Each structure stands twice: as structure tokens, then as C-alpha cells.
Amino acid sequence: MNNKKTVVVGMSGGVDSAVSALLLLEQGYNVQGLFMQNWQSEPGEVCTSEIDFKDAEQVCDQLGIKLFKANFSKDYWENVFKEFLSEHSKGRTPNPDVLCNREIKFKSFKDYAIRIGADFIATGHYASLEKIDGKNFLKRAKDKNKDQTYFLHEVHSDEFENTLFPLANITKPEVRQIAKKYNLPNKDKKDSVGICFIGERNMQDFLSRFLELKKGNIYDPNHEIIGTHQGVTLYTEGQRKGLHIGGIKNAKEEPWYVYKKDIKDNKLYACQGSNNPLLYSKGLILDGLNCITDKLIEELDCEVQIRHRQSPVRCKLNPNKLEVLFKEPVSSVSPGQYAVFYKNDYCLGGGIIEKSIPISL
């Protein structure tokens, strides 16, 4: 009788999930793969999902494990993409990867995995879990550069039950080395970028299929017109690329950055220089606060991260007022993005940024 525990691994076609499956096999688990199709490509589109599935299939064939395929595109549309569009229509800049983890990987995927006999699920996330007094605490991975706890902050402690993160204590270079050592078919495959499960796209062209984008003017801090935009919702506070501002009379030879969006009047405001005070905030207001394990009630000194790749900064969090005050000014706080909180490398939770608090206030 086979007493091995069964782990269903989310196989994306990428090297991280491939090495995760390999490591679990080495640890003695009965490993199965599950490929998720979460986006229905339209005629004429390059179907990256099919490419990724073939890569996942080749890996599973080499490892000798069974690969299942599940279509969660309806769940993705209803629970992730509709909210993504709704936030964009409000002029905010959402992060669908957070919703994707909350709604798909730790709901639809996990439910399906359990139905096909999983004792555990596993993903290729760079993240760690620690059990303390029967509770699951989310913690940063060893590879701080690749750490993905930011994207997992809306998953509740209970939903992490029976979850394994095989890459918790491994760096990305080590993952590549393992893939090459075992000559995995996708050992040299580049990391995926772009929207979760949708991929790398021209955002303007993509969103214009779902939202009405209206062109308008870009203004400087003196309310002088200095250019045109393709639709306010396409831009993010702190954005530098894609503004196409140049040749402004009496302007300094410094790059322009978005510092404000006026959705109602369809106006975009830009200033010059990465150190311009208009780009900086002394804090932010949250739209709500999700706590992963323990509910936060009292004011707390901790760290906050307002983007996945941004270095965390020290702050004071008031969970009752949903107010965050930075220990020093922070640039490019963008409504719609997520503020995620940490204490001693433990991820406490986070919430959507409602608005920034200007330095002048």
C-alpha cells in the first residue's frame, strides 16, 4: 500500500514550478501537476497558454508525473478581471496578481486539487510559511529579491493550510542551477512578465477593448498644457515612460513624471525631476485592511511596501483610521496599488491605497 502523501503542484510551464515539482519528488512525495488555463485567447492572438502548457507537459513527462489541466477562465473573468477593469475605470492602478492568488490559486486551484486527491498543494512562489500555535504565518523567502509575499497578502491564514512553498529557502540562481543540473526542458525559459495569466501586452491596446479611453491634455504644475495623454486611466503616479513630453520652452533638461490624475476632468499632471516634492507623500489612506493571521487593532510600528519591487520603508500603521504615516517621505504612492505590511519579515497583510497624504498637509 502506498502511504506517500500526494502533492498537487501548480505547473505554469515556468522553471520555478518545474523545480518545485522536482524538489518535492526528491522529498518522497507522490507528486502530480495541475496546469491552470485562466484566460481565453481570442482569434488572432498568440496563445501563450498553449505554449506554457506544452512546456509544463514536457517537464512532467521528464519527471514521470501526471499532469492535469483545468480551465478556470470563467472564475478568472468574474472574480479577477472584472475587478481589474472596475478599478481602472475609477482611474486607479490595480494589481491583478494579488486578486489572482486570492481568487484562483488559493480557491479554484486548491478546491480542484483536493477533488483529485491532494493532501497538499504547492506552488513555485518565493515565500515561506511558519506554523506558530496552530496558525499559519506568511514570511519572506530567503531570496529577498524574488520574494512574492507582496502578492499573497490577501490570502487568509486558513487558506494556507496544507500548502507547501518548495522555494522558500532557495534563491533564483540556485533554481536555475538545479534546472540545468537535471536538464529540465524549460531550464533557460525567461521569467514571465505582464498581467497574471494574460501575459505581456500593450496595455493601451488591451484596455481599449474593454474600456472607453478618452484622450486629453497633460499639464505642468503651473497648469500649462505640455502634451497629450491617451486616457488618464492608463497612467500611474510616478510614471516616467510613455509621456512623450519634449521641447518645452524654458523647461529644464530633466525627465517628466506623472504626479497627479484628475479623472473627473480627464487631466494628467506631470512635473520634472525624480526628486520633485510633488512626487512625494508623507503617508497614505487605505481602502481597507486584510490581516493574514492576527487582526491588527492597535497602532503599530512596522514596514510598508507599496510596490512589489520597492524597498520596504518604516511606518506607523493605524488600523482603525486606516492611516499609514511614513518615517520619511515616499515617492510615487499610487491609488489602486497595494500597501503591504511587514514586521521582522512576517507579512501581516495589506490593503488597497485609497489616496496619498501630501507632504504639505
Any idea where the domains of the chain sit in the sequence? 6-181, 213-274, 280-358
Q: Which residues pair with 107 in a beta bridge?
A: none
Contact between residue 240 and residue 255 where contact means Cβ atoms under 8 Å apart: yes
Where does 280-358 sit in CATH, by number?
2.40.30.10
Most confident among 30-39, 223-232, 312-321 (mean pLDDT)? 312-321
**Residue 302 among the catalytic residues:** no
User: What's the fold here for domain 213-274?
Assistant: SH3 type barrels. (2.30.30)
The reported pTM is 0.90
CATH of 6-181, one of 3.50.50.60, 3.40.50.10480, 3.40.50.620, 3.40.30.10: 3.40.50.620
**Residue 196 among the catalytic residues:** yes
What pLDDT score was predicted for residue 82? 87
Residues 296-326 have pLDDT tens digits of 999 999 999 999 888 999 999 999 999 999 9
Query: Poorest-confidence range of 7-21, 188-202, 212-226, 315-329?
Result: 188-202
Residues 239-270 have pLDDT tens digits of 998 898 877 776 778 899 999 999 889 999 99
User: Of 196, 271, 302, 347, which is the active-site residue?
Assistant: 196
User: Of 100, 271, 302, 315, which is the active-site residue?
Assistant: 100
